[in-house]
Structure 1
């Protein structure tokens, strides 16, 4: 069962390592992870996509993550109405004859060509994972030289947004 879990954490050295080590110890495979600054200085947000066997495992995971030093709040947002996006850069084999064809594939996805060289084109696409997979499948026959993907980043839609209360952390 695929789950999307978000964590609000202190933006300090070692937090990412402690969090991912917990996944390793519990033998959860992280399908994707996205980390970046939040709207609050000194606070970052992490988004994990993980596969778990049942709801009990995800509940156990969120409880254990909440106990980690530097972790302020953990939420399983899978069953909420969410906004989720992924970015992919795809370098495709191209020559003068195939460039317009590739452009025809890229346009319906609202993707963009961000680099052109003599023998390749680099495409940037953002959207949900299904959209990213679909454009990759359509570009594959041209020959994919390289792909870089960010992983999913997500949060609940605006109507569900609540004021976040962080747990207190005492620093000795």
Structure 2
């Protein structure tokens, strides 16, 4: 006998999406967008904002969030309905995008820990921005998973503090995103 549950649709896959939102650069826009996410129970994993077109007073908000296809479509539709929003692009759905994040990692230590921190930072291609007798500050730029890996590896050498910028992303090729 066939179960009724076998005809049920398969659970949608939860995936990470990077959204590029072009908005008017005016007070309260970011609060409205954050309110949209929190009011509907969506999480913002990464958020970057910067004015990109000074003459037109436009800013680009890059948001990394996770959800199934229906949730992402709903987020995009709701963002698109906000008055100060000019355009919403799902950079993940539109194909390969170039995504980068910058991390500043402060490591404290002496002796062997200090030597190991320098060796690992060099292996990852990180830049040394500050060095004292007791600590270093390294700058590392890469894809999210590379930044995560760098921080995990450096944790073994005595990480004191970490600051991350959030994701900056653009679509590959000639398309605007």
- TM-score, normalization by structure 1: 0.87
> Who wins on radius of gyration, i.e. which is larger?
2
Mapping 1:8-157, distance limit 5 Å: 8-41=22-55, 42-52=57-67, 54-79=68-93, 80-95=95-110, 97-157=112-172
Unaligned runs of 5+ in 1: 165-172
For structure 2, which runs of at least 5 residues remain unmatched after alignment?
A: 1-14
Equivalent pairs counted in the alignment come to 161
Contact 1:109 1:131 in 2 (8 A): no
CA RMSD of aligned residues (A): 1.5
Greater than 2 Å deviation, 4+ residue runs: 94-101
Query: Which shifted more, 34-43 or 115-124?
Result: 34-43
User: CA offset at residue 69 of structure 1?
Assistant: 2.1
TM superposition shift of 1:94: 2.3
* TM norm structure 2: 0.85
Q: Is residue 15–residue 69 contact of structure 1 (8 Å, CA) maintained in 2?
A: no
Cα deviation for residue 81 of structure 1 reads 1.4
Look up the SS of the partner of 1:142 in the other structure. Answer: coil
